[in-house]
Amino acid sequence: MTIDLARQYSLSARQIADFRRDGFIRLKGVFNADELAHYGEEITRLTIALNTQTLPLARRSTYDRAFLQVMNLWERSGRVREFVFGRRLAGLAAALLEVEGVRLYHDQSLYKEPGGGITPAHADQYYWPVNSDRTITAWVPLQAVPAELGPLAFYAGSQDVEFGRDLIISDESEKAITANMQAHGFRVVDEPFELGEVSFHLGWTFHRAGPNRSTRPRSVMTVIYMDRDMRLIAPTNPNQRNDWEKWCPGAIVGEVIDTPKNPVLFERAW
């Protein structure tokens, strides 16, 4: 089987404008079934093998009931590296961010077990020591995600709201952010994902996911991109310091995050 992850997925000016307005977008047919099977098998295998969670669901925190997660699988497998470094996703990330190029921040597999709980409302960039809002996450389901599996849901247009940005993923964030989103009247987009459909959301866009009410796991691969010229800031919380040490080791505050773990994955050809 020949797979070409450099194949371009074209975006319209309208789609880019919609993303700018809403802080997220869902794109159908980004991957086909063969591509997802080829990479998904390896991603799922590694996630299960490398996961360190041993407690039963009933004894875990809300955060740990949400999913099993493993980061930087690209360092563990050549096949996963092909996927994470693929120009198709990276090119979409650069186009949506409207920047000249993107770097890898890190990848993250998310495996919501049968019976797994909600993913509480939150904004990702709370965890990231970066100096601008030009960050974006590609959320790639490795199978179709009907409502009972807990698809990712977004608060459209919430990327400019500052309330809740300082909350970790928790019961508190779910309660406080949900109430604030409702007070603002933000439209909630909570719909199933077709096979091959991918979403992208900004680092400050608030989002959540429902529980997995099925008997099947929900396997998802995410890739987090940042502007090619992103600079490191001094951490403002312990989680940002941890991210600096783990995902940007050697980066210097005030300088571009240019480390071996943060390669440029796409640059526009002018």
What is the percent of the chain with per-residue pLDDT over 90, rounded to a whole number? 97
Question: Has residue 155 been placed in a domain?
Answer: yes
Tens digit of pLDDT for each residue in 197-227?
A: 999 999 999 999 999 999 999 999 999 999 9
Question: Has residue 67 been placed in a domain?
Answer: yes
Question: Has residue 238 been placed in a domain?
Answer: no
Range of the domain at 116: 13-227
pLDDT reported for residue 1: 63
Q: Is 89 helix (H, G, I), strand (E, B) or coil?
A: helix
Q: Which residues contact 1 (CB under 8 A, 6 or more apart)?
A: 34, 38
Question: Has residue 29 been placed in a domain?
Answer: yes
Question: Has residue 99 been placed in a domain?
Answer: yes
Q: What is the CATH number of the domain that holds 68?
A: 2.60.120.620
pLDDT reported for residue 269: 76
| Total number of domains in the chain | 1
Mean per-residue pLDDT for 28-35?
97
Tens digit of pLDDT for each residue in 214-264?
A: 999 999 999 999 999 999 999 999 999 999 999 999 999 999 999 999 999
Question: Has residue 256 been placed in a domain?
Answer: no
pLDDT band per the 50, 70, 90 thresholds, residue 2: confident
Cα 230 to Cα 140: distance, rounded to the nearest angstrom: 24
Question: Has residue 249 been placed in a domain?
Answer: no
Q: Outline where DSSP puts E strands in the chain.
A: 24-27, 68-71, 101-112, 119-122, 135-141, 152-155, 188-189, 198-202, 207-209, 218-227, 264-267
13-19 contacts: CB < 8 A, separation 24 or more? 16/95, 16/96, 16/98, 19/96, 19/200
pLDDT band per the 50, 70, 90 thresholds, residue 45: very high
Q: Is the pLDDT of residue 270 over 80?
A: no
Question: Has residue 263 been placed in a domain?
Answer: no
Tens digit of pLDDT for each residue in 130-183?
A: 999 999 999 999 999 999 999 999 999 999 999 999 999 999 999 999 999 999
* HSE-CB of 217 using CA atoms within 13 angstroms: 17
What is the percent of the chain with per-residue pLDDT over 70, rounded to a whole number? 99
